Amino acid sequence: MVRSWDDKIFNTIVYVILGLCGLAAILPILYVVSVSITPFGEVLRNGGFILFPREITFSAYRTLLTESNIPSAFRVTVLITVIGTAVNIVLTGLMAYPLSRKNLPGRNVFLLMIVFTLLFSGGLIPTYLVVKSLGLLDSIWAMILPNAIWSFNVLIMKSFFEGLPEELFESARMDGAKEFRILLQIVAPLSIPVLLTVGLFYLVGHWNEFFQAIFYVTDRTLFPLQVVVREILMQSQQPLENAENMMPTQTMQMASVMIASLPVIIVYPFLQKHFTKGMLLGSIKG
């Protein structure tokens, strides 16, 4: 009797703290949503406390989508994300598959070449000079190529490929299939889970692209979403670009934050499983 009573108290405490953690994670985001759809006057009147706005307006979104450079930045980000992820997956897969063949001569040299980059890098300035000398500055490729392969993702994919049954490859080779065909028609379909996991990490990385843009791009028309949103957040005192005498009010700022984060927030819950799996795969390797 005492036992179950203790258990109940214990459970209640656990549930309450967990609930609080959940709320702590979601409330700030909900607050941003409600600020972004509440008329600014209303926000001021309520002392800023509006979780469930009484009046809803999408005018901030309308202004951003018609009178700022958010739409063009959105296009840049989508472009980087689509092209970038495709490049990432192809290059990473092409590299991981041969390295998963344990009898490949020189395999260790290639692996060392990859692992070493996890430990040491030339640093920002020398990398900038390489990008510059390739003539990539101020192009979308500057935001795609310098990070075309994440060493870690090669290792994750490689260890997944190593887990595929050897007999599959043997019998395919017996049938005279070329390696490229084996990779495309046998390995790839069996590797959907790892392709998804790795692909999603690349995808989110591109969507959140910020630093390569500020390092290598000065052409404003090529700025991705995150860079433009940060500008809007920073210039709370100055007029918004292309909009005369328009102060980016808090409403406007939060609307831009929502535009930049909504795709991730919407898509994420459906793909959560794959992200989690990737995290564990990665940490086992690391």
Partner 1 sequence: MRTGQLETNAPRMQPASQTKLQSALKAFWRFRAFYVMLLPGVIYFIVFRYFPMYGVIIAFKDFSIMDGITGSAWADPWFKHFQAFYESPYFSQLLTNTLLISCYKLIWGTFPPIIVAILLNECRIRWLKSIVQTLTYMPHFLSWVIIFGILLTLFSQNGGLVNRWIVEMGGESIPFLTSTEYFRSILVGSEIWQNLGWGAIIYLAAMAGIDPTLYEAAKVDGASRMRMIWHITLPGIRSIIVLLFVLKLGHLLDAGFDQIYILYNIQVYPVADILDTWVYRTGLQQLNFSLASAVGLFKSVIGLILVLGANRVAKKWGESIW
Does residue 1 interact with partner 1 by CB under 8 A? no
For partner 1, the binding residues in 192-221 under the rule CB under 8 A are 204, 207-208, 210-211, 215
Task: Kindly state whether residue 17 participates in binding partner 1, applying the rule CB under 8 A.
Answer: yes
Asked if 76 and 223 count as a contact pair (C-beta separation under 8 A), the reply is yes
Name which position in 1, 4, 5, 24 contacts partner 1 (CB under 8 A): 24
User: Which residue type does 228 have?
Assistant: V
Nearest distance in Å: CB 62, partner 1:
19
* Footprint of partner 1 on 136-155 (CB under 8 A): 145-149, 154
Q: How far is the CB of 29 from partner 1 (least distance, A)?
A: 7
- Binding to partner 1, residues 244-273 (CB under 8 A): 250, 253-254, 256-257, 260-261, 264-265, 268-269, 272
How big is the site for partner 1, counted in residues (CB under 8 A)? 91
5 scored as a contact of partner 1 (CB under 8 A): no
The one segment of 54-62, 63-71, 102-110, 190-198 that binds partner 1 by CB under 8 A: 102-110
Q: Is 130 near partner 1 (CB under 8 A)?
A: yes
Q: Does 81 bind partner 1 (CB under 8 A)?
A: no
Give the distance, in angstroms, between the CA of residue 259 and the centroid of all CA atoms in the same chain: 15
Work out whether 125 is an interface residue with partner 1 (CB under 8 A): yes
Q: How far is the CB of 82 from partner 1 (least distance, A)?
A: 18
Binding to partner 1, residues 166-185 (CB under 8 A): 178-180, 183
